[in-house]
């Protein structure tokens, strides 16, 4: 007698051609037992926040956070051996989550990290308490940075010095950037990670470092790092251009780390070459955490083919989630967290669950399945059917 055929989860999904097609889900990939791995790269996942769907108020204006679910996701990331980059753009900083809520998020995350042996946590310090319409000045930018840095360090936190929209608005030349960063860095207690976020992630940051051309901007950033070497632990760049990242990596002062923020090309950049490698501070690690942990464990043990084998299927997913307009990538990350049961709803701070289309969600679903990242296919299909039904499609 033949063995009974294993039941396959199936769902009808919309396609880019305007049709609804049947899709068969695959079995999830076994990434091994969760736990701290012997990584030979620093790996930080920029983590998303979980909204509170029952909060009163205007969801487009009021940031209501489900603190328990938000912190549970950080504990999940730490359990996989990943560090957490808190209150960054992935947490919708400046896209729904403002400074007061960010500071509360940072405080709660720092407290939670104390219960996790070896937990690594960095927190974003920026200038988002400034109202750009009032005409910020470089001096006001310095004061805003200092307020946030002091608040984070008072809590015992480590800092990611985020790119400033206010500085991009008011700076008149690269000298303004040199002056602002030098003043801010002179005041921090511990070395920071500088964050250069490209305009594809945030259009308001175009021309950062006082230069429209990225190569000239890189020269200014390198000058800032060299002049403040003792206060810079590393720099994260998010330009989605691997050659520019490699060029900068090779020009950094000795001991300064390059953290890749390239959610398109991260496997090659993390693996590196004979002249060096990038560490990681990535939003996509929020969504592919089990694969990232397993791959980094393989790389740490010298199994480069295993590292490549695990991460290669995640790249099409990442490129889809971070496609233009790239700033809406957070929607894809939260969507996957919901599909995988890390939160009980698909509601986002600022109503950002509406930032991508139903066809986009369907493709995210397919690509996550192809990467083996839908850890419970039945649950994922059930939740996908819910969003399809709301939009008038039977799944």
Helical residues (DSSP H) of 203-241, grouped into ranges: 214-227
Confidence of residue 133 (pLDDT cuts 50, 70, 90): low
User: Quick check: 291 and 373 in contact, CB under 8 A?
Assistant: yes
Tell me the pLDDT tens digit for each residue of 271-321.
999 999 999 999 999 999 999 999 999 999 999 999 999 999 999 999 999
Q: What is the model's pLDDT at position 17?
A: 87
Average pLDDT, integer, range 159-187: 97
Can you tell me whether residue 38 is helix, strand or coil? coil
Alpha carbons 162 and 153: distance in angstroms, whole number:
15
Question: What pLDDT is recorded for position 395?
Answer: 58
Contact by Cβ (8 Å): 240, 264: yes
- Chain-wide mean pLDDT for the chain? 94
Q: Is residue 262's pLDDT more than 90?
A: yes
Using the predicted structure, report yes or no on whether residue 202 has a pLDDT greater than 60.
Answer: yes
- CA-to-CA separations, 222 to 24, 66, 137, 174, 192, in angstroms, rounded: 49, 39, 23, 12, 15
Burial 321-336 (b: 16+ CB within 10 A, else e): bbeeebbbbbbbbbbb
Which of the two residues, 19 and 145, has the higher pLDDT score?
145
Helix, strand, or coil (residue 197) = strand
**Segment 26-81, tens digit of pLDDT:** 999 999 865 556 899 999 999 999 999 998 888 888 889 999 999 999 999 999 99
* Residues shown for the chain: 395
User: pLDDT digit string (tens) for 327-357?
Assistant: 999 999 999 999 999 999 999 999 999 999 9
Residue 237: strand pairing partners: 196, 260
Question: The tokens 């590196």 sit on which residue?
Answer: 272
- 17 or 395: which leads in pLDDT: 17
pLDDT at 4 over 80: no
Per-residue pLDDT tens over the stretch 85-117: 999 999 999 999 999 999 999 999 999 999 999
pLDDT of residue 305: 98
Asked if 262 and 238 count as a contact pair (C-beta separation under 8 A), the reply is yes
What is the structure's pLDDT at 135? Answer: 72
- Domains, the chain, ordered by start: 41-324 (3.20.20.70)
More confident residue, 58 or 181: 181
Query: What is the per-residue pLDDT for 237?
Result: 97
Q: What six digits make up the tokens of 25?
A: 């889900």
Is 80 exceeded by the pLDDT of residue 6?
no
Q: Which two tokens stand for residue 391?
A: 């939009």
Q: What pLDDT sits at residue 36?
A: 57
């Amino acid at each position: 007698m033949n063995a009974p055929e294993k039941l396959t989860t199936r769902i009808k999904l919309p396609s880019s051609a305007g049709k609804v097609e049947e899709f068969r889900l695959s079995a999830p990939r076994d990434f091994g037992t969760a736990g701290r791995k012997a990584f030979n790269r620093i790996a930080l996942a920029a983590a998303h926040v979980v909204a509170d769907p029952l909060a009163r108020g205007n969801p487009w204006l009021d940031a209501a956070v489900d603190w328990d679910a938000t912190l549970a996701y950080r504990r999940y990331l730490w359990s996989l051996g990943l560090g957490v980059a808190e209150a960054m753009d992935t947490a919708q900083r400046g896209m729904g989550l403002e400074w007061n809520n960010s500071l509360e998020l940072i405080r709660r995350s720092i407290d939670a990290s104390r219960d996790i042996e070896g937990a690594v946590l960095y927190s974003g310090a920026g200038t988002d308490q400034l109202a750009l319409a009032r005409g910020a000045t470089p001096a006001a930018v310095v004061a805003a940075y200092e307020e946030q840095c002091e608040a984070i360090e008072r809590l015992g936190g480590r800092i990611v010095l985020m790119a400033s929209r206010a500085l991009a608005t008011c700076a008149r030349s690269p000298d303004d950037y040199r002056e602002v960063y030098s003043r801010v860095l002179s005041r921090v207690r511990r070395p920071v990670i500088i964050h250069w976020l490209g305009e594809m992630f945030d259009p308001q940051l175009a021309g950062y470092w006082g230069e429209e051309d990225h190569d000239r901007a890189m020269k200014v950033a390198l000058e800032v790092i060299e002049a403040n070497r003792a206060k810079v632990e590393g720099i994260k760049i998010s330009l989605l251009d691997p050659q520019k990242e490699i060029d900068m990596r090779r020009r950094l002062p000795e001991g300064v780390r390059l953290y890749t923020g390239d959610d398109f090309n991260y496997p090659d950049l993390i693996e590196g070459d004979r002249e060096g490698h990038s560490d990681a501070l990535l939003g996509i690690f929020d969504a592919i955490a089990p694969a990232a942990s397993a791959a980094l464990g393989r790389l740490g043990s010298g199994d480069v083919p295993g590292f490549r084998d695990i991460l290669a299927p995640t790249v099409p997913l990442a490129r889809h989630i971070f496609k233009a307009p790239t700033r809406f990538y957070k929607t894809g990350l939260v969507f996957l967290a919901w599909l995988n049961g890390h939160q009980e709803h698909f509601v986002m701070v600022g109503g950002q669950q509406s930032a991508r289309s139903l066809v986009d969600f369907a493709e995210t679903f397919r690509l996550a399945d192809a990467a083996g990242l839908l850890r419970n296919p039945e649950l994922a299909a059930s939740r996908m059917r819910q969003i399809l039904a709301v939009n008038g499609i039977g799944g």
